[in-house]
């Protein structure tokens, strides 16, 4: 295991025993390394360098990097009210982040959900589902070429209680904030991404096994820049 990953411990939700990371079962929670709060790239430099990247080096992304990108997307930066790296209308937090993770020794290939409160991943199910996702995204090649694919989904019902008819647009706006955070964090980590909005909603939902009320909004393939 690489240095810094020692803190990545699998916490069994349903059992008291700790499991080996590579053997995580569905429902297991994998704690992520603490996110970095400082970096070598200024906001201005990241804005200047940000570009949509569709080709990636064929190497996996480390767990630290996956954690950092997840934190940029939805990490909690003020624990009490749960305020996050991205703004949220009325702090209703309708966004969910799923990650298709592939190629890591310490984590079985599969689909994981980011848990902002714990800064952890919850394993949802195993397998490499990038190819099915690629078909759902009009066969866009970058979806299979990336070692990790993030899917941003929205749960409008969380925002609807408060904002009624405006909720849907607010959730779309939030997805944009989240995606831009990932782009900028990616620049600082040497990770490329592109937001994909062209996909069949129902197919993406099926591949991701999303629950009723969870709508896929963006697909972001993530990979080291070539
Ligand atoms: C709402 C939205 C949907 C997009 N969908 C796709 C897509 O399906 N596939 C893709 O390759 N790029 C997609 N893009 C990325 C744009 O093509 C890209 O942002 C544009 O070419 C400008 O390039 P830049 O991001 O490098 O500045 C999308 C961008 C936005 C904002």
Q: What interhelical angle do 63-74 and 167-189 show, nearest 10? A: 140
Residue 144 included in any domain: yes
Tally of domains in the chain? 1
Residues 6+ apart with CB under 8 A from 133: 100, 143, 149, 151, 204, 207, 208, 219
Q: How far apart are alpha carbons 19 and 108 in whole angstroms?
A: 12
Residue 2 included in any domain: no
Residue 1 included in any domain: no
- For ligand 1, atom 23, the nearest C-alpha belongs to 52
Cα 194 to middle of ligand 1, angstroms: 6
How much is the average pLDDT of 90-114? 97
What pLDDT is attached to residue 180?
99
End-to-end CA distance of the chain: 24
How much is the average pLDDT of 30-53? 98
* Angle subtended at Cα 159 by Cα 158 and Cα 161, rounded to the nearest 5 degrees: 85
- For ligand 1, atom 19, the nearest C-alpha belongs to 52
- Ligand 1 atom nearest residue 51's Cα: 26
Residue 4 included in any domain: no
Res. 14: pLDDT tops 60: no
Residue 52 included in any domain: yes
26 pLDDT band (50/70/90 cuts)? confident
Q: Which residue has the higher pLDDT, 80 or 83?
A: 83
Res. 202: pLDDT tops 70: yes
- For ligand 1, atom 29, the nearest C-alpha belongs to 195
Residue 179 included in any domain: yes
Residue 5 included in any domain: no
Quote the mean pLDDT of the chain: 92
**Are 77 and 85 a contacting pair, CB within 8 Å?**
yes
Q: How far apart are alpha carbons 128 and 133 in whole angstroms?
A: 10
Cα 221 to middle of ligand 1, angstroms: 12
CATH, residue 168: 3.40.109.10
Res. 129: pLDDT tops 60: yes
User: Domain of 217?
Assistant: 10-224
- Ligand 1 atom nearest residue 137's Cα: 8
- Ligand 1 atom nearest residue 183's Cα: 25
Residue 3 included in any domain: no
What pLDDT is attached to residue 23?
63
Ligand 1 pocket (Cβ < 6 Å) reads 51-52, 54, 140, 194-198
């Amino acid at each position: 295991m690489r240095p810094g990953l020692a803190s990545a411990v699998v916490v069994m939700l349903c059992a008291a025993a700790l499991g080996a990371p590579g053997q995580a079962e569905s429902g297991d929670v994998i704690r992520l390394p603490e996110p970095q709060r400082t970096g070598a790239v200024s906001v201005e430099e990241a804005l200047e360098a940000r570009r949509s990247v569709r080709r990636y080096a064929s190497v996996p992304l480390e767990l630290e990097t996956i954690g950092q990108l997840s934190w940029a997307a939805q990490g909690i930066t003020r624990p009490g009210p749960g305020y996050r790296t991205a703004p949220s209308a009325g702090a209703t937090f309708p966004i969910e982040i799923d990650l298709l993770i592939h190629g890591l020794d310490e984590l079985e290939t599969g689909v994981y959900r980011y848990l902002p409160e714990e800064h952890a991943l919850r394993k949802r199910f195993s397998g490499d589902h990038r190819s099915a996702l690629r078909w759902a995204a009009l066969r866009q090649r970058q979806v299979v070429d990336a070692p990790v694919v993030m899917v941003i989904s929205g749960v409008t019902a969380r925002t609807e209680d408060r904002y009624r008819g405006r909720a849907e647009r607010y959730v779309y706006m939030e997805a944009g904030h989240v995606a831009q955070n990932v782009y900028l964090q990616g620049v600082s980590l040497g990770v490329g991404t592109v937001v994909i909005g062209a996909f069949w909603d129902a197919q993406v939902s099926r591949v991701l096994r999303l629950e009723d009320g969870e709508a896929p909004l963006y697909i972001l393939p993530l990979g080291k820049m070539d």
